[in-house]
Amino acid sequence: MPFPVHRMRRNRASEPLRRLVRETQLSPDDFILPLFAVPGKGVRKAISSMPGNFQLSIDELVKECADSLKLGIGGVILFGIPDAKDEQASGAYADDGIVQQAVRAVKRELPKLLVITDVCNCEYTSHGHCGLVVDGEVQNDPTLEWLAKAAVSHARAGADIVAPSDMMDGRVAAMRKALDASGFTNTPILAYAAKYASVFYGPFREAAESTPQFGDRRSYQMDPANAREAMREIELDLEEGADMIMVKPAMPYLDIIRQARDRFDAPLGAYQVSGEFSMLMAAIQNGWLDRDRAILESLTSIRRAGADFMLTYFARDAARLLG
Ligand code: PBG
């Protein structure tokens, strides 16, 4: 006889009770803040579609990082927007590239801050695709060389973790081999293992100036309709040597996060991407959603689905709310 013996509301009657039975916790340790580095000095250029986010010159970026460290967040992930782009994505793997310089500066000033680098070519190619383009097609195998060189250059600059987001086949193995050959046997690879061809990257592409000049990314990023395929992508990245895996985007793909959690024991990240952030911010700025609750509920949902850590543009706000 369920009711009236069982009353689910009993455990919800007060905040201390709710706290006792709460199944999911958030901690600043698990938040990674994405930051965008640009050349110059004293540059803080607002990204209009992502309120509160900026393209930052390295001096300004270091300040943001210092702030992040004080708030106790888990780390930062750096993206770069180079001065010049070309067909070969030269800026992606140059030792004096924008991200490489940014990593050096951050690790020099703030050695305790965990610095992840996004390894991709789309911010560095003139056409905005993530690899070498021949006859309008993104070439897989030649692109692996660029990615391997980029990973080594990031590690040499001091990156704690390198994170390939390109979705070429075989990139994790290529990067592992190159890192090991250069003496970086201890640099972990966080693979954007299940990365979907998502509309929710729109604001990021404004931020990173990486919109493809023709076509789209559907020949390399995953079809949003596929879940089993995501498990194969993750399995392959782990076999190739990925140390951690990621699902991206997060909120529209909570089922994928849950399946990955149930199936794999590797540390699992999820990326609450730019469009998820902008959507929430638009509603917050319109007064349609309460800011603090929207931030915490959205991150709680990602964590509840099974993510160990979250890349989120709300990292600092959420850390402040928890602190
Ligand atoms: C680079 C990359 C992208 C994002 C992270 N790394 C853009 C893309 O694949 O087009 C998106 C992140 C976001 O939307 O916040 N390939």
Q: What are phi and psi of 127, to 5 degrees?
A: -95, -10
Q: Which residue bears the tokens 């305790």?
A: 112
Question: Mean pLDDT over residues 134-163, rounded?
Answer: 97
pLDDT of 188 higher than 90:
yes
Give the residue, by CA position, lying nearest to ligand 1 atom 11. Answer: 201
Please compute the mean of the pLDDT values over residues 187-216 and round it to a whole number.
Answer: 95
Burial class, 212, CB count within 10 angstroms (exposed 0-12 / middle 13-18 / buried 19+) = middle
pLDDT of residue 72: 97
Pocket test for ligand 1, best of 154, 165, 246 (most atoms within 8 A of CB): 165
Alpha-carbon distance 150 to 118, whole Å? 10
Query: If you average pLDDT over residues 210-229, what whole number do you get?
Result: 96
Domains located in the chain, CATH noted:
24-322 (3.20.20.70)
Q: For residues 107 and 122, give the distance between their C-alpha atoms in angstroms, rounded to a whole number.
A: 25
Question: What is the arithmetic mean of pLDDT over 210-231?
Answer: 96
d(CA 316, CA 67): 9
Q: Taking 90 as the threshold, does the pLDDT of residue 13 lie above it?
A: yes
Q: In ligand 1, which atom is closest to the CA atom of 311?
A: 15
Return the half-sphere exposure (C-beta side, CA atoms, 13 A cut-off) of residue 81.
22
Residue 214 exposed, middle or buried by CB count within 10 Å (0-12, 13-18, 19+): exposed
Q: How far is the CA of 182 from the centre of ligand 1 (A)?
A: 27
Pairing verdict, β 161-164 and 132-134: unpaired
- Residue 13: count other Cβ atoms within 10 Å of its Cβ: 10
Q: Let me know how long the chain is.
A: 323
Q: What percent of the chain has pLDDT over 70?
A: 100
CA separation for the pair 164, 80 (Å, rounded): 14
What is the distance in angstroms between the CA of the first residue and the CA of the last residue of the chain? 43
C-alpha 96 – ligand 1 centre gap (Å): 22
| Closest by CA position to 206, among listed 283, 146, 280, 128 | 128
pLDDT of 1 above 90: no
Cβ < 6 A, ligand 1 pocket: 118, 120, 122, 130, 165, 201, 204-205, 217, 273-274
User: Which tens digits make up the pLDDT trace of 48-74?
Assistant: 999 999 999 999 999 999 999 999 999
Angstrom distance (rounded) from CA 212 to CA 251? 24
What confidence tier does 178 reach under pLDDT thresholds 50, 70, 90?
very high
Q: What is the mean pLDDT of the chain?
A: 97
* pTM (global) more than 0.95: yes
How far is it between the farthest Cα atoms of the chain? Answer: 71
Rounded-to-integer distance, Cα 210 and Cα 124, Å:
8
141-155, 198-212, 266-280, 288-302, range with the lowest pLDDT: 198-212
Contact 119, 168 (CB under 8 A): no
d(CA 8, CA 22): 14
**Active site amino acids:** 195, 248
Contact 139, 219 (CB under 8 A): no
